[in-house]
Amino acid sequence: TQLLEQSPQFLSIQEGENLTVYCNSSSVFSSLQWYRQEPGEGPVLLVTVVTGGEVKKLKRLTFQFGDARKDSSLHITAAQPGDTGLYLCAGEDGGTSYGKLTFGQGTILTVHP
Amino acid sequence: SAVISQKPSRDICQRGTSLTIQCQVDSQVTMMFWYRQQPGQSLTLIATANQGSEATYESGFVIDKFPISRPNLTFSTLTVSNMSPEDSSIYLCSVRQVHSYEQYFGPGTRLTVT
């Protein structure tokens, strides 16, 4: 069973600060997805990374997949109150596990005005 | 991306009863999954809903407790049977196209069992 360790679990920062969320595993993933979930809603897909070393940017959000495809990070620049929410990473090991995502425990981000 | 709807959005049920959750997608999708998110927890895969055949369940989940149907490429149901308070969770439908890495989730069904 693959495990994804996500850290930190909680993050409370002021508007304008930068932050990084980490997802780490001892297993190799064929792809890794980042989601954001707000209370009462389902997770919304932010990005999918597939290639080792890949970096993707989505406005102020930068996602990186580790060279060995065992870890990933999400960096937010100049956080805004609208970034508040639960951030989830989810990995897939491919093959017969196609579509079966293993989720990290999540990071609850609160950005104070 | 696919637009996914779930019914009901929430329900409060009594112990021992069953609830069927519906998942409808606005386009044909290859793969459909059901996940559970227990209070304060992350998401756990229950099963893969296979069109025209029995669902494939993950360890810890059984067909008698969570029967699943998938009659076509746009619709699936999950039934939570003989409910207990431990079944109180958010149940989420998820879809994906084969040859795509992108996986999408519905809005969820928030179930409370009393």
Q: What is the pLDDT of residue B101?
A: 86
| Greater pLDDT, A1 or A44 | A44
Task: Give the mutation candidate from B5, B30, B42, B50 for the A interface (greatest A CB count, under 10 A).
Answer: B42
How far is B102 from chain A, CA to nearest CA, in Å? 7
Amino acid in the structure at residue A112? H
pLDDT tens, residue by residue, B59-103: 999 999 999 999 999 999 999 999 999 999 999 999 998 788 899
Q: What is the pLDDT of residue A5?
A: 95
User: Mean of the per-residue pLDDT values for chain A?
Assistant: 94
Q: What is the pLDDT of residue A63?
A: 98
* A4 to chain B: closest CA residue: B42
Q: What is the pLDDT of residue A95?
A: 67
Position A1 confidence tier, pLDDT thresholds 50, 70, 90: low
Task: Give the mutation candidate from A103, A107, A108 for the B interface (greatest B CB count, under 10 A).
Answer: A103
Position A96 confidence tier, pLDDT thresholds 50, 70, 90: low
Contact across the interface for B42 and A106, Cβ inside 8 Å: yes
pLDDT tens, residue by residue, A16-67: 999 999 999 999 999 999 999 999 899 999 999 999 999 999 999 999 999 9
Q: What is the pLDDT of residue B100?
A: 85
Token pair listed for A63: 């996602």
pLDDT tens, residue by residue, B76-87: 999 999 999 999
Residue B63 CA: distances (Å) to CA of B57, B58, B81, B84 = 7, 10, 10, 16
What sign has the CA pseudo-torsion B103, B12, B19, B114?
positive
pLDDT tens, residue by residue, B4-46: 999 999 999 999 999 999 999 999 998 999 999 999 889 999 9
Strands (E), B1-114: 4-7, 10-13, 19-25, 31-37, 43-49, 56-57, 68-72, 75-80, 89-96, 103-105, 109-113
Contact across the interface for B96 and A99, Cβ inside 8 Å: yes
Position A9 confidence tier, pLDDT thresholds 50, 70, 90: very high
Q: What is the pLDDT of residue A74?
A: 98
- Which residues of B are less than 8 Å from A25 in CB distance? none
Task: Give the mutation candidate from B3, B25, B96, B103 for the A interface (greatest A CB count, under 10 A).
Answer: B103
Contact across the interface for B101 and A31, Cβ inside 8 Å: yes
Position A3 confidence tier, pLDDT thresholds 50, 70, 90: confident
Q: What is the pLDDT of residue A102?
A: 93
